[in-house]
Structure 1
Amino acid sequence: MPIPPTTQQMNKLPTISTFVNQVRHFAHHHQLFTPRGKYIIALSGGADSVSLLLVLKHLESELGITLEAAHCNFHLRGDESLRDEEFCKQLCSRLHVPLHLVHFDTHAYADLHHVSIEMAARDLRYAYFEQLRRDIHAHDICVAHHRDDSVETLLLNLVRGTGLRGLRGIQPRNAHIIRPLLSHSRQQIEQYLDALGESYVTDSTNLHNDVKRNKIRLNVIPLLRDLNPSASQSIFETSLRVTEALKIFDDAIQRSIADVTIPPRGDDRCGCLRRPMRMALVDVLQCKVDTCRGTYRGCTCLKCTNQPRTAQTKKCINQPLLVHLRQVHPLNTYTPQATAPLKQEHKKGVQLYKLHPLTTYIN
């Protein structure tokens, strides 16, 4: 006969069910999952990614999906890095989730490409995830960004200077990257893990005050909460309103293309744009191009590559990507390609800077 749950365990059940229901609703609302699809969980061993793996494992049968996990060891924190890897192995073994492991010499990559350690780790991580996604024919990559991460991103964008798109924060989907936990706060994630009695590892570098994002998290947001205890929630809700407003804006821009293009002359197949819509269209196109994670850059005058060489442009599209702005080549025919090539240096980073060959841990 099973042992009945204790009062303490019963008190924690609402926290668990609420968390799961919110993730389920968020995933359905944003259409993040496709039945019979395979999904990769980016697993660091921290609270965010552990909760992501656990809640999706709980919903795996209901959603009709299969899960595999991937862990990157960047060899930046000595024994901590090895501890995180071992933790992920044990967790995936217990949950019967296949785990893919990869090792990087992050310092060598950063030196070669003249980027910060943080940027090097980000480049290597996302390039590897995309390579793995293609290799195992997975549908998407699930990352554990949450509401507080989105607020931090919005504030960073605001400090650097941004347009309306930067005020959206992090989006639920970006090409093949999806974020099922985006509606949850870090506090809710920790409460969920506590209710389950699950442990996780802590990255000590998250407490360092020499990283911009950490400064926002450790210094700026606490000050904002002194002014308004619900500051993070308020900022997040504002970002949602900006996102909805931009959908209306983008739709109006797309429907107005025919009204702002000059009829073509000679072999100038695309024509150019009248003000004041030019920069608005640049903004729309740049957003689309950015989702490719390729090496494309927007053209500030929106000159197609078919136009005369004498066209005055500040930036040129550095790949044969044609952005036609006539009805015969409507803008809505250009969509980011899911299989757009990665930056070459990303591929090299994955191939040349593994300390060990890619290994796969299968239960």
Structure 2
Amino acid sequence: MAVYTLKEAQPAPSSNRGLFFWLRENLFSDITNSFFTLLGCYIIYLIVPPLIDWMIIDATWTGTKEEIVKSGARWIFIIEKFDQFMYGFYPEALHWRPNLVLLLCAAFIVAMKYVQHMKIKIAMILLLPVISFILISGGWFGLETVETEQWGGLMLTMIVAAVGIIASFPLGIVLALGRQSHMPIVKSLSVGFIEFVRGVPLITILFMASVVLPLFFQDGIDFDKLLRALIGITLFQSAYIAEVVRGGLQAIPKGQYEAADSLGLGYWQGMILVILPQALKISIPNIVGSFIALFKDTTLVLIIGLFDVLAMVTLTTSDTNWLGFEVEGYVFVTMIYWCICFSMSQYSKSVERKFNTEH
């Protein structure tokens, strides 16, 4: 009877593992790949060190405008105007209110991850916008009223983007279902709205919301400028969300619709419980891409007299005491936009991994 002895597993050859193996496989696999790798390293060498010198090493962080002697970035301008970049013309003594809203939003995101009860989640989703509006605008519970003309900076950018995203998402789903509907009137209205909105630029929608919309109201009715912009942005974004969701609906196999019918589910039950969860999962990358585009498009509110964070840079650099600081302002705003958009992209990837069922 043969006797077998187990041998210890030997480590992989050093040429097939480790950093050098990864470099050889990914960056220096052939002559062409090696050439572009070296070219990329040279371009990085030309760009990154001077950028670091300008932004950090030779930068001016403290002092006054007259004391600047270095040739790097003059971040004292950002420090001096930081409150305007963040809050616009919001009263300084009341900055605690938008700061509290920011903390509530962070707590809401954490709570949504750990709270499992659906009714509690729905209550939180409905209460957060109401509480946030009361805190920022005031006029309730003894809070001082702050008119929307005083809102601005990054606070206004976040408000416009958040309202546009939250409000356009369910409206876009309804429009997508309407476009897929077999009822001629519903389908025609949905198609007409979507194609009309997608056929005009956002700047036109904002002008219509700011100038044309008040014409439909009686004389003496003061329709808030910010509210008009929010309505226009929501309607604009909902048309694009509708097309994204429609693409997800068309990707669902016909057998899923038949499965919902075989379970005795009605139209809305089948859509909510079977079809839409799958369609939205497929559409996550495109939905988040649309939200990122909306966040960047919020800069267009400047044309109707609202001062978002980018508009505040233009406004503050026109100050005669701080002329010539446009570069630092635009670099600062660029970093803000990149950080927020990158965070949204990374969050969408985590959501995709969470709902990935292909394994």
- Asked if Structure 1 and Structure 2 have the same fold, meaning a TM-score greater than 0.5 normalized by the shorter chain, the answer is no
Q: TM-score range by the shorter chain?
A: under 0.3
TM, length-normalised to structure 1: 0.19
**1 or 2, which has the higher helix percentage?**
2
Max radius of gyration: which structure?
A: 2
Q: For CA contacts below 8 A with separation 6 or more, give which structure has more relative contact order.
A: 1
TM, length-normalised to structure 2: 0.19
**1 or 2, which has the higher strand percentage?**
1
